[in-house]
Chain A
Amino acid sequence: MISKQPFPYKPEEYETEKASNAYLMSLVVVIVGLPFPIINLIATWGYYMGQRKSSYFVRWHCLQALLSQISIVIINAFAMGWTWSIILSDRSLSNGYLAYMALAVFYNLLEFVVTIVTAIETRKGQHLSWWMYGPLTQVLCKPQP
């Protein structure tokens, strides 16, 4: 799910700190964000916007942290919608729903762990690229802002 990749230059201490904070941002808001998945997305979007003029390394990781929120937002929003439809309408509890919830919980935990690992490694100056979001960030983030 994550792989170490070479980066065009060795980032400075302040860059690794800012880049690492982008991942921590998505963890800090996780408690608030659980019932409202969109909050994580807004928070990482806000942090990314604040770092638009930063160095390539910082922007790259801020963007990867932001993009990585998309799948979890969609998965959690669908889980919430399905749950509310069971509570408020005629839908009943099904094996499909419970399977989806189990998978959503697993995905949330996996993303949580991967985010922590990435934050730690990024702080050490390592360049970690995520499955799917790494290649997308590579396309979207250019060395010059």
Chain B
Amino acid sequence: MRRFFLHFSLSILLFGSIWYALSQINWIGILGLNTLTQKTEKKLEDILWEAIQDSEEICSDSEANEALQTLWNRLCKSNQLDPNSVQVHLVINDEMNAFALPGGHILIHSGLIQGLETPEELAGVLGHEVAHVQLNHISKKMAKEVGVSLLLSAAGGGSAAGEAIKEILSQLSSSAYDRGLEKEADLKSVEYLKNAGINPNAMIGVMEKLETEIQSDLPSWLGSHPDLSERKEYLKIATEHIVLTEKPVLDSAAWEGLKTACD
């Protein structure tokens, strides 16, 4: 039995050592897997963005877009975010919705802006979507919920690509991320707002408005969001001790202009 234990220990040691040594090799780089993934992702980003441009009406009102850009710049500056990492677009759509696409495109529906009361609330929504982009939640969600095979068929073109693109867009725009990712994005948004001198309490206001929308049984996508009261609770805890000197996000004229733009 002693011989067995000796052999057993040596085997474990040998296996572990070889594994450790092999792990030090940059297999991903050597096999070019990183480049392949990045190439596929880039292609997918372009295809999805083209599909959105074909199916949605993007608001070209310069003042409205300038107001959105002001919000984004404010978050960027105080959080050391790359201004080119995200492009914010205003979509003419009555549905209260906002979502992020691969490639850093954030789409905000005009219906959502009309449903919000203050620019701080909009900053909270923007911060939340920016967090999804920055924390790489979109590719995680696509791989998990859409499936690798569908992503590859969308990127690969051919007859199946059209259906695959529709399915991906529907997943990205109409359903929530899982609870863990939503919470991570909410808390990251609190941090962004705090650093930008915007009261993160505004996010609680957004949750309340979403709850009201669910109660009035309006858009279906809201119903699929994880427990809004739970989100409100952890947002209250995360924001209760934050003391900051607030600086206005947008002046009232810019905010009203944004709310009524592309009506």
Interface positions of A from 116 to 131, Cβ below 8 Å from B:
131
A95 within 8 A of B: yes
In the assembly, what is the distance between CA of A136 and CA of B11, in Å?
Answer: 14
Q: Are A132 and B25 in contact (CB-based, < 8 A)?
A: no
The residues of A that contact B140 with a CB separation of less than 8 Å are 90
B13 within 8 A of A: no
The residues of B that contact A99 with a CB separation of less than 8 Å are 19, 22-23, 25, 27
The residues of A that contact B1 with a CB separation of less than 8 Å are 135-136, 139
In the assembly, what is the distance between CA of A93 and CA of B35, in Å?
Answer: 13
* Of A71, A103, A136, the contact of B18 (CB 8 Å cutoff): A103
Interface positions of B from 13 to 41, Cβ below 8 Å from A:
15, 18-19, 22-28, 31, 33
Residues 188-202 of chain B, each 1 if its beta carbon lies under 8 Å from chain A, else 0: 000000000000000
In the assembly, what is the distance between CA of A96 and CA of B22, in Å?
Answer: 8
* Of A88, A93, A103, A132, the contact of B28 (CB 8 Å cutoff): A93
The answer to whether A136 and B4 touch (CB under 8 A), given A87-B148, A93-B28, A94-B28, is: yes
B166 within 8 A of A: no
* Min distance, Cβ B176 to any Cβ of chain A, angstroms: 16
Q: Are A95 and B11 in contact (CB-based, < 8 A)?
A: no
A102 within 8 A of B: yes
A82 within 8 A of B: no
In the assembly, what is the distance between CA of A30 and CA of B31, in Å?
Answer: 28
Chain A contact residues: over half helix, strand or loop, or mixed? helix
- Nearest A-chain residue to B140, judged by Cβ: A90
A89 within 8 A of B: yes
B247 within 8 A of A: no
Q: Are A102 and B22 in contact (CB-based, < 8 A)?
A: yes
A98 within 8 A of B: yes
B3 within 8 A of A: yes
The residues of A that contact B144 with a CB separation of less than 8 Å are 88-90
- Nearest B-chain residue to A99, judged by Cβ: B22
The residues of A that contact B8 with a CB separation of less than 8 Å are 132
Interface positions of A from 60 to 81, Cβ below 8 Å from B:
71
- Nearest A-chain residue to B8, judged by Cβ: A132
Q: Are B27 and A135 in contact (CB-based, < 8 A)?
A: no
The residues of A that contact B179 with a CB separation of less than 8 Å are none
* Of A88, A95, A136, the contact of B25 (CB 8 Å cutoff): A95
A112 within 8 A of B: no
- Nearest B-chain residue to A94, judged by Cβ: B28
* Of B7, B15, B27, B148, the contact of A95 (CB 8 Å cutoff): B27
Show the binding face of A for B, using Cβ within 8 Å.
71, 87-90, 93-96, 98-100, 102-103, 107, 131-132, 135-136, 139
A-B contact pairs, 7 of them (CB 8 A): A89-B144, A96-B23, A100-B22, A103-B18, A103-B19, A132-B11, A136-B4
Show the binding face of B for A, using Cβ within 8 Å.
1, 3-4, 7-8, 11, 15, 18-19, 22-28, 31, 33, 140, 144, 148
**Beyond A71-B11, A87-B148, A94-B28: 10 further Cβ-contacts under 8 Å?**
A89-B144, A90-B140, A90-B144, A98-B31, A99-B23, A103-B15, A131-B7, A132-B7, A135-B1, A136-B1
